[in-house]
Structure 1
């Protein structure tokens, strides 16, 4: 969060000028007057010291830098999208090949895939074998993030791109 100008509540601040020169410890009011005189903003750089270090920054530039930094952080922390594929335990060979090629394309593009097999009755073992076959067929381009998870109604595994 950016604390600027009148929002700074400290009585004294350690001030740095527009060109990085050290102006020493001065009162907040003097610092605000200097900021107005130079058509600049007074920006607090840290709240964890006393007096807080502040700097003079050209008007509007501080907000631009803060928004750029925020956008940069959002881009780097983006989650990998996971595409879910629904299958049945008794899938036909052609359908299996189609799903396999779709998963292969997504893994090659850097996206994660999660095949989910619906289980009805005693299909648990068939579903497990199908998942193992999928993992084996996609082994050169994807690796398991989770083990095979078989619960009452479905079996699933999450594959990440290598």
Structure 2
């Protein structure tokens, strides 16, 4: 793989004198088949036309080369990649941390934050962290998690049910579609 720009990865194609195969199948600049030619002759034809000889299918027998403007080809590839990245929608996973003894009003504020994240289209990871002797009474944390679930049923779906991971009770809420 060859990196053209920091965000674009283009497979490294062999061009002109980098092609070391004896014979290649050649495709002309307009897409017409020129047949199987010795690489030297194919390179010479490309030079006469003012183009480059680019190996487009190295694994076929014989390898397929195309006569084209390599600089223009790389430019078009980068434009296509840029367009496809522009239309992608990235979803982030936001995180809200709670404690087993989180007060009612504080919990309402956190739930409001989660609602905001879900309305923006982001998944939200909700975790209840236990410290010290709170591990002995895990039911308090489960009650906090159940109240969060009850308040979010209208705008989110539980993607990952509440589950213990180490000293944390964790769940993931996804926006409803």
Q: Place the TM-score, normalised by the shorter chain, in its bin.
A: 0.7 to 0.9
Q: TM-score, normalised by structure 1?
A: 0.86
Alpha-carbon separation, structure 2, partners of 1:86 and 1:70 = 37
1:85 to 96, 99, 123: 96
Q: Which residue of 1 aligns with 2:6?
A: none
Alignment of 1:41-120 (within 5 A): 41-71=52-82, 80-120=91-131
Cα 1:136–1:38 shift into 2, 3 Å: farther
1:33 to 28, 44, 47: 44
Q: Which residue of 2 aligns with 1:2?
A: 12
1:98-132 CA deviation, whole Å, 9 max, x = no partner? 11111111111111110111113234111112112
Cα 1:29–1:80 shift into 2, 3 Å: same
For structure 1, the residue ranges without an aligned partner over 5 or more in a row are: none
**How many aligned positions are there?**
162
Moved more, 111-120 or 144-153: 144-153
Alpha-carbon separation, structure 1, partners of 2:158 and 2:168 = 17
Question: What root-mean-square deviation, in Å, do the aligned CA atoms of Structure 1 and Structure 2 show?
Answer: 2.3
1:146 to 155, 160, 163: 160
Q: Which residue of 1 aligns with 2:149?
A: 135
Shift of 1:70: 4.5
Alpha-carbon separation, structure 1, partners of 2:149 and 2:48 = 67
Cα 1:11–1:139 shift into 2, 3 Å: farther
Q: TM-score, normalised by structure 2?
A: 0.79
